[in-house]
Amino acid sequence: MKIAILSRNKNLYSTKRLVEAAELRGHEVVLLDHMKCVLVIEQGRPHIYFNGKEVKDINAVIPRIGASATFYGSAVVRQFEMMKIFTAVESQALVRSRDKLRSLQILARAGIGIPKTAFASSPKDKDLDNLIESVGGAPCVVKLLEGTQGIGVILAENQKAAKSVLEAFMKLKANMLVQEFIKEAGGADIRVFVVDGQIVGSMKRQAKEGEFRSNLHRGGSAQVIDLSPEERATAIKAVKKLGLGIAGVDLLQSSRGPLVMEVNSSPGLEGIEGATGVDIAGKIIEYVERNEFNKPGE
């Protein structure tokens, strides 16, 4: 099987592991920088060029699309779908998951626990207090809609600090969410890695001292964790509702049960493989194989 991996950096751990896992199982791998792909939209024959050559004979695609490349990256994935090629993460699910506001609305409608969240396009100064109080008051978390890996996430310790942060973001015309602070989580969250509707690994991430963001990129630590039945069910349901074939679900442990903080459509492999010892890359390749080799009529 010939697998295309969409990645802008061949040296990233996740990209290298996917290549290694695919080749170990006897597959041919092609690395494509999605931002350098040229899409030709033609009646009856959609196709793609990369480095001046038409991309041909691809059996499956594994997208690794960064947040900053969501618009064009999802268009490339959509083009492969038009070419009737299996994509491990569908274009529409990718776009849906990257829209933090939309994804939270979908999860809330499905009855999945989330931190109380407020959103306003351009609140007036007098409305800021109400916005903060609507999520339970300070301390609260202010998030940029486009932020990743903990970037653009700020803990406002008190009402004055929260208003200052909101005012600063407003001046930058940035879209932001205000979210309740889950104190009992203790600066920790759970990353659950889901492939093809099955949990293949989970870890608890703990923020370093003096930090509330538990992202490993921000110095957090990780250890393997046994999930409760409720945590397992919440993660699987969240991924299903967003339509993702591959996802990392971030859960907070709260007094009212597990709360979904975010669902990541291009979760990194380094932290989860390091903490659990599980061959997550291999699980992804197995998922691709099941979908390619079990096509109707084949």
Using CB atoms within 10 A of its CB, is residue 194 exposed (0-12), middle (13-18) or buried (19+)?
A: buried
Which of 143, 96, 85 is closest to 118 using CA atoms?
143
Using CB atoms within 10 A of its CB, is residue 192 exposed (0-12), middle (13-18) or buried (19+)?
A: buried
> What is the chain written as a DSSP string?
-EEEEE-S-TTSHHHHHHHHHHHHTT-EEEEE-GGGEEEE--TT--EEEETTEE-----EEEE---GGGHHHHHHHHHHHHHTT-EESS-HHHHHHHH-HHHHHHHHHHTT-----EEE-SS--HHHHHHHHHTTTSSSEEEEETT--TTTTEEEE-SHHHHHHHHHHHHHTT--EEEEE--GGGTTEEEEEEEETTEEEEEEEEEPPTT-----GGGT-EEEE-PPPHHHHHHHHHHHHHHT-SEEEEEEEEETTEEEEEEEESS--SHHHHHHH---HHHHHHHHHHHHHHT-TT-
What is the phi-psi region of residue 134: left when phi exceeds 0, alpha when psi lies from -120 to 50, beta otherwise?
Answer: alpha
Q: What is the pLDDT along the chain (298 residues), one digit of tens a residue?
A: 999 999 999 999 999 999 999 999 999 999 999 999 999 999 999 999 999 999 999 999 999 999 889 999 999 999 999 999 999 999 999 999 998 889 999 999 999 999 999 987 766 666 788 889 999 999 999 888 765 555 678 889 999 999 888 888 888 777 788 999 998 888 889 999 999 999 999 999 887 665 555 555 555 678 999 999 999 999 999 999 999 999 999 999 999 999 999 999 999 999 999 999 999 999 999 999 998 766 644 4
Structure tokens at 46: 């959609």
pLDDT for 296: 46
Which of 271, 253, 270 is closest to 261 using CA atoms?
253
pLDDT for 61: 98
- Domain 117-181: top CATH class: alpha beta
- Read off the pTM: 0.89
Instruction: Give the angle 142-151-115 at the CA atoms, nearest 5°.
Output: 40
pLDDT digits (tens, 9 = 90+) for 54-85: 999 999 999 999 988 999 999 999 999 999 99
pLDDT for 147: 52
How many C-beta atoms surround the C-beta of residue 91 within 10 A?
20
* Dihedral angle of Cα 267, 270, 271, 273, to the nearest 10 degrees: 100
Please, how many CA atoms are within 13 Å of residue 128, restricted to the half-sphere of its CB? 21
Domain ranges of the chain: 2-89, 117-181, 184-265
> What's the CATH number for 2-89?
3.40.50.20
Which of 26, 20, 94 is closest to 243 using CA atoms?
94
Q: Which CATH superfamily is domain 184-265 in?
A: ATP-grasp fold, B domain (3.30.470.20)
Q: What are phi and psi of 55, to 5 degrees?
A: -80, 120
Structure tokens at 174: 């940035």
